[in-house]
Structure 1
């Protein structure tokens, strides 16, 4: 399912236009992205949590040459599904 299909389904269930639903979805996703950029956790009860995890700098190997390289520290956005969502699967 993509964003357009999701908006169409929600619009049909709640008597709204697809454009209205799409604007709400875009606003919700933007709010999640802004919170993640600030390093905040976003908890959606019954659905799950979006959380920023930090990976420290580490050493690795170039697979082509075998040379030791340094892999830079990075941040990753992770999602952990809530128990209620896991149970539905």
Structure 2
């Protein structure tokens, strides 16, 4: 699902709200999550999961083409940990319900 699909779904479920207001609300929520992560804060959405930032220290890597050693700078990366309710929904009874797409036949189960 992309942002415009989310906005459309919310608009369909809330006909009393203007489309532009829903777009603004969704943008504000995403912006606040981004701002909190940029400050180093953790964002938890109960039943869904938690967003946080992880530090990746500087290290020496390899250029896959030449095999040459390359210095990789330290960086901060966003990290998402799914909540228990989301994990249970993905792995339990609610799996592949209406609107969900099942994996192709023969696809191995994820670990």
Which structure carries more helix by proportion?
1
When structure 1 is superposed on structure 2, of 12-21 and 72-81 the one drifting more is 12-21
- 2:47 corresponds to 1:46: yes
- 2:29 corresponds to 1:28: yes
Q: Which runs of 5+ in 2 are unaligned?
A: 91-111
Q: Distance in 1 between matches of 2:78 and 2:9?
A: 27
SS of match in other structure, 2:40 = coil
Q: Structure 1: which 4+ aligned runs deviate by more than 3 Å? A: none
With normalisation by structure 2, the TM-score equals 0.75
Q: What do you get for the CA RMSD once the two structures are aligned?
A: 1.1
Quick one: higher RCO (CA 8 Å, sep 6+), 1 or 2?
A: 1
Could you tell me which residue of structure 2 aligns to residue 75 of structure 1?
Answer: 76
How many aligned residue pairs are there? 89
